[in-house]
Amino acid sequence: VAARATPNPVGVGSLVTLNESIRGGVGPFSYAWAVVSVPAASAAALSSTTDANPTFTPDVAGSYQLSLTVTDSIGRSSAPSQITVQATIS
């Protein structure tokens, strides 16, 4: 599985949509997104940790690290896929 973010980099205050690219496995799939780290003083949170395409809005400049683990319908889980979204002041 590969996690992606659109757009990336992004301006502070702009909505980011996360998505995935899955190879193999047996659908339907379940998703486990997690926020690994955010800049100091950030209160940014995911709109959902279980949706295929959650969103979040970076609220301070810096790096936001997220991870995604996908589980298929027969219980096989992927290794976590990590992504870093860079937020800048526009």
pLDDT digits (tens, 9 = 90+) for 34-60: 999 999 999 999 999 999 999 999 999
The number of helix segments (H) and strand segments (E) in the chain equals 0, 7
Residue 7: which pLDDT band, with cuts at 50, 70 and 90?
Answer: confident
What's the predicted TM-score (pTM) here? 0.92
Query: What is residue 4's predicted lDDT score, i.e. its pLDDT?
Result: 86
